[in-house]
Amino acid sequence: MLLGRPRRDGLVGGHSYVESSNLDAKPQNFDQIKDHFKNDNTTFKQRYWRNSQYYKNNGIVFLLIQGESIATDAWANNPGYTYITLAKLYNADVYQLEHRCFGFSRPEPDMKVSSLSTCNVDQALEDIKTFISAQNSNVYKNVKPKWITFGGSYPGFLSAAFRMKYPEYTVGAVASSAPMLWTLDFFQYAQVVQDTMFDVDVNCGNAISTAFTQMQTLSLTTTGRNQLSTYFNLSPAFNANVTQLDIDNFFANIYGYFQDVTQYTYDGRNEATRGGLDVTNLCKIMTDNTVPDYIKRVNNVVLWYNKLNKITQTTMDNSYAASIKTLANTTFDDENASQDNAASRGWMWLCCNEMGVLQTTDQGYNIFQQIVPLNYYIDMCTQMFSADINIKRIRDRNTAFYKRYGGIDHYTATNIVLPNGAYDPWHSLGLNWNNTDLHVSSILIPKAGHCSDMYPIYPGEAAGLKNARDYINKEVAYFLGVPVVPFPQ
């Protein structure tokens, strides 16, 4: 995990299974303005997908906003995804828009700091406005279009922010697992992970606390660090030149397994999450009394995670310097089909440049201990980008970003539904109130994970997802001003 983003596939996931071999919607290019805030009409090619198989010339249009990863054919075609199921119910035209600076939507040919200057939320929102305006002029000039935006996680925020900033362009929005409180020190993430573990099994939370306390103690001595190297088959092993950043990086990697499992627990995201990669099974490993060594139990979690994700690597990467070298690379890694390294750099830029959400364990006493401090991420930002990206700049730009988008207490949009999973650590930054006058509705889905309402239905999902999808369906019909068509369950 890297600030809550898996190093593969992004926050929402780019490669969830497709139930149909019909992948008719393929990427096309749109001439997007490079910098919306300059008097310059220079453009770049922004990718989009259009799936019109359900459209009946009624002006109903759904737009899926993509975020911090390459966009894929699956998200424009899979009939099991909730928004495409809704498109079929209401005969909507479907679009997917790739985020600038990710995938092949590149304002600049590289990811140098100077090239990332237009990679920000303000530009992304203008991209959406420009794209919708162009489609209205070119495709829907003979009808009065009714657009609804959809997005999950960071794109969920974009869906919500676009609805607030430009309400005249849409009739409503769905913003799944959308962070709305862009805090710099996101210690609440660890708090939700802890709460989830205790909710599953008190003994699980206690076992994790014991294990991390023991690991932290071992990290203080040469002998102890050698033991940690053996436990987790670290590559490279800790040596005499170990720094505090090396130790922080080790713990961030270990903590990342618990983050990932919790964030996507019971999701229909991919084969692993549908196949048992969830907090219940994690807790079974951590409370396995046939394994008296608590640190060994943590390593068993790692092995189990790797097996379900079909990761064959037998060592655990343990070089902070190597990680920074990868993230500091300024080229798009086109040799990697999912462009994970470039996407990770892009996500870190969004966070270091303005959004924050640096996932520490700084909330005081907790089962993970104070193993991932804020300075760990500040140092990463500086070393990945430049010395100018320092704590003062990061803090000041994050404060300005928060003020610009209002936070959860000053959200003024109408006609929006914001679903969140109660087990998803991101829900702690979500909007959790309802306003009938504005028709703003939030849903907290019990025992559900990140963006769980967006994925295809599967037998092991959280029970509350049925009601959540029914509610989203009802709201979409309200936004469109049409009768409700029952959602297939």
Identify whether the C-beta of residue 444 lies closer than 8 Å to the C-beta of residue 420.
yes
Position 15 scores a pLDDT of 41
Question: How confident is residue 16, by pLDDT bands cut at 50, 70 and 90?
Answer: very low
97 CB contacts (<8 Å, ≥6 apart)?
46, 47, 48, 63, 64, 65, 66, 71, 127, 128, 131
- Provide the pairing of β-strand 93-97 with 43-51: antiparallel
Question: How confident is residue 256, by pLDDT bands cut at 50, 70 and 90?
Answer: very high
pLDDT tens-digit map of 160-207: 999 999 999 999 999 999 999 999 999 999 999 999 999 999 999 999
> Range(s) for CATH 3.40.50.1820 in the chain?
28-180+407-480
User: Is residue 450 annotated as part of the catalytic site, yes or no?
Assistant: yes
pLDDT tens-digit map of 113-159: 999 999 999 999 999 999 999 999 999 999 999 999 999 999 999 99
Q: What is the DSSP letter of 2?
A: B
pTM of the entire predicted model:
0.96
Strand ordering across the sheet containing 60-65: 28-33, 43-51, 93-97, 60-65, 146-152, 172-176, 416-421, 440-445
Catalytic one of 127, 248, 424, 453: 424
Give the H or E element holding residue 285: helix 279-286
CATH T-level topology, domain 28-180+407-480: Rossmann fold (3.40.50)
Position 334 scores a pLDDT of 79
Higher pLDDT, 398 or 21: 398
Identify whether the C-beta of residue 404 lies closer than 8 Å to the C-beta of residue 173.
no
Helices (H), 115-266: 121-138, 154-165, 188-200, 202-218, 222-232, 244-263
Position 359 scores a pLDDT of 96
Phi, psi at residue 235, to the nearest 5°? -135, 110
Query: What is the C-alpha to C-alpha distance for residues 367 and 361, in angstroms, rounded to an integer?
Result: 9
Identify whether the C-beta of residue 86 lies closer than 8 Å to the C-beta of residue 307.
no
Catalytic one of 16, 105, 153, 219: 153
User: Is residue 424 annotated as part of the catalytic site, yes or no?
Assistant: yes
Q: Would the pLDDT of 433 be above 60? A: yes
pLDDT tens-digit map of 31-53: 999 999 999 999 999 999 999 99
| Residue-averaged pLDDT of the chain | 94
Least confident of 81-90, 296-305, 359-368, 416-425: 359-368
Least confident of 8-22, 62-76, 125-139, 464-478: 8-22
User: Is residue 36 annotated as part of the catalytic site, yes or no?
Assistant: no
